[in-house]
Amino acid sequence: MFLTESLKYTCIYKGIVLQLNVTFDNIILFIEMTKDGDLEDYEKVLIGLEMLITNYEEIEYLPSDEKYQIFMMILKEELSFKRDNEFQTVQATEENLENEPPSKKEEYDFDVDGERIYASFLMDYGIDLLEQQGKMHWKKFISLFSGLSEKTPFMQVVQIRAMEVPAPTKNNQKERNKILRLKRKYALENSEKTADEAFEDMITAFGGKAGDK
């Protein structure tokens, strides 16, 4: 339970104590790295381990299958990543959006929306995320992130992206044009993989099965 356990910065694999860098800014960099189309999937796993484990030299010479096990252990147990969604907490936030389309794509990007997220944390919580770099644990960040109110700049944009365009009628052309204009303004590029797709590809590259949990 989140409220009854201390946030962890270490984990243990076969007696090896691994020191973790699980501050929110490092995990955001990790997520962006997983979407880099210039990297092979197995490279993303290895780079990811170096990003997540500060004493990586302790496991540097382990076999690839063991590195994969460590990678999955950290993502699932220490970061609470899910196979069917990037973050369980973010999924809960997005499911509350009105008029969510049946086939839902990612409606945020930590890089593109960085300034809006920064302003939203300051607005809702009085938290300056620049001052929290290297300090705030990912789980704390994502819990606050998932609780951002609808009035914040970030959530307003997320709702615009999720909004369905109404079917045209003789009376709603002005409304439709406004919605379309806003959706174009805040649209995310579709040229790169989502984090979920990149995560699945990395698992496949290391022989994981789609049904693994």
Q: What is the mean pLDDT of the chain?
A: 83
- Per-residue model confidence (pLDDT) at position 204: 63
Residue 64, phi then psi, degrees to nearest 5: -60, -40
Q: Are 41 and 205 in contact (CB under 8 A)?
A: yes
Tell me the pLDDT tens digit for each residue of 153-173. Answer: 999 999 999 988 888 888 888
pLDDT < 50 positions in the chain: 84-104, 191, 209-211, 213
In this structure, are strands 10-13 and 16-19 parallel, antiparallel, or unpaired? antiparallel
Phi-psi region at 123: left, alpha or beta (left = phi > 0; alpha = psi -120 to 50)? alpha
- Per-residue model confidence (pLDDT) at position 196: 62
SS3 135: coil
One-letter amino acid for residue 149 of the chain: S
Q: Are 22 and 138 in contact (CB under 8 A)?
A: yes
The CA–CA distances, whole Å, from 40 to 11, 30, 63, 139, 203 equal: 27, 15, 18, 28, 12
Tell me the domain boundaries of the chain. Answer: 2-85, 88-185
